[in-house]
Amino acid sequence: MYLDDNNIDFILPWIDPSDKTWQKEKAYYERTSNTEDNASQTRFRDMHTLKYVLRSIEKHCPWYNKIYLISTGHYPKWLNLSHPKIDLITHEELFIDKSNLPVFNSHAIEMNLANIPQLSENFIYLNDDTLIWKELKRDRFFKNGKVVDFFHHGWIPRNKVFTFFKGKDTWVDALNNNLELLNNTVVPKQLSTEQLYHPSYGIKHKISNYLFQNVYKDLFWINHWHHPQPYKKETIQKVFEIYKDKMLEVSTHKFRSSSDITPYLYRYWHLLTGDFEPYFHNDGHVVKASSLADLEHSIEKIEENNTINFICFNDQAKNISDKEFIKLSEGLSLYLEEKFPHKASFEN
C-alpha cells in the first residue's frame, strides 16, 4: 500500500460567463491588453456541462476524496458549498501573486495549482467539458504509487511548417514552449523498455520512441489526449520549484499568449523522469459539434461504442450565431440529463 493511494482528489476550473462583474472586467482588460487570443470571445461560451461532469465523477468514480472547483468566486446556485466533498477555490486563494488578478487565461490559473493547501498527493485534473462515461477503478489513474500514463514521442515537430499549414495557435505555441524549456534544463532519464515499448503502444509509436531515445535525444512533440489527467502533488511542487520564474511570468498573462506554457509541463516532467506506470488506454473521445445535427450524429456514434471511458464535448461552434449555439447547448443538456439523471450528493 502506497501513502494516500486511497485519497484521490479531482480539480477542475470553471467560469460563469453570464456573471456581469466578470464580463465588465474581461471587456476592460481586452481593451487595455494586447491579446493574441483571437478565440477569446468564443472560448468562454458555456455549454452547461459542469453539472453533468460533477455527476459523472460521483457516479463513476465513487472512490474520489474531494472535488476542488476553481473559479473567480462565483459558483452555480445548485451547488451546495457546505458539502464536505466540494471545495470552492477562488483565484484570490489560488494565486501566489494576487496582483496578477483578474486573469482570463486558463494557463495562468494552472501555473498556481501547487498553491492548493489541502490537495491530496494523488489528484486528477480535468476541464468542465469532459465527462467520465463509465465506472472506473483507481488503477485507471494510479498504480504502484505512480500515475498511469503513456509516452509517445511525435513524428513531426509542430513548428513553423505546421503553423504555415494550420495557422497560428497559441495553444500549440505554449506546448512547444514546454518542450523548449525541458530541452534546455532536463537530461531525460533512460526510460525503461516497458515505458518506451509497452505492449499497449502501436508499432509506429514504438519506432518513434526508439528514434527519440537513440537518435534525437531531444523532444520535439509528445502526444496526448484530451481526457482527465492524473498527477502527483509532489510533481507539481517540484516543477514549480524549478520553473518558478517562468511560471510566475505566465501567471501575469491575462489572456492566452504565444509565450505561455501549459500544465502539460507537469505531465512531461513525470514522463521524462520515468515516474509513471505505462499504459496507453486510448479510451477518450472528443465530440466536435458545430451544429445540432453534428451533435445528434456524434451521439449515435457514442451509443455504438462501448470502449469509451471519457467524452469531451468540445465547443467547436466558433462561427455560429448565439441562437444556434443555444440550440446546440440545449440539445446537449437534454442528452446528458438522460445519461446522468440523478443528482449528485452535493447538489441542492
The pLDDT of residue 164: 60
H or E stretch covering 194: helix 193-197
For residue 135, is it within any domain? yes
For residue 348, is it within any domain? no
Range from 1-5, 84-88, 138-142 carrying the lowest mean pLDDT: 1-5
The pLDDT of residue 185: 86
For residue 344, is it within any domain? no
Residue 85, pLDDT > 70, answer yes
> Can you tell me which residue has the cell 465523477?
57
Where would I find the H helices in 95-169?
A: 106-110, 160-166
For residue 260, is it within any domain? yes
Q: Mean pLDDT, to the nearest integer, of 321-343?
A: 92
Residue pLDDT, tens place only, 45-57: 888 999 999 999 9
For residue 63, is it within any domain? yes
The pLDDT of residue 162: 63
What value does the mean pLDDT of the chain take? 91
Q: How many domains are contained in the chain? A: 1
**Rounded distance between C-alpha atoms, residue 87 and residue 83, angstroms:** 8
- For the entire predicted model, the pTM comes to 0.94
CATH number at residue 218: 3.90.550
Residue pLDDT, tens place only, 204-213: 999 999 999 9
- C-alpha dist (Å) from residue 310 to 67, 129, 200, 283, 285: 17, 10, 18, 7, 6
For residue 2, is it within any domain? no
**Rounded distance between C-alpha atoms, residue 64 and residue 304, angstroms:** 28
For residue 347, is it within any domain? no
Top-confidence residue, 345 or 319: 345
The pLDDT of residue 274: 93
Q: Which domain holds residue 176?
A: 8-339
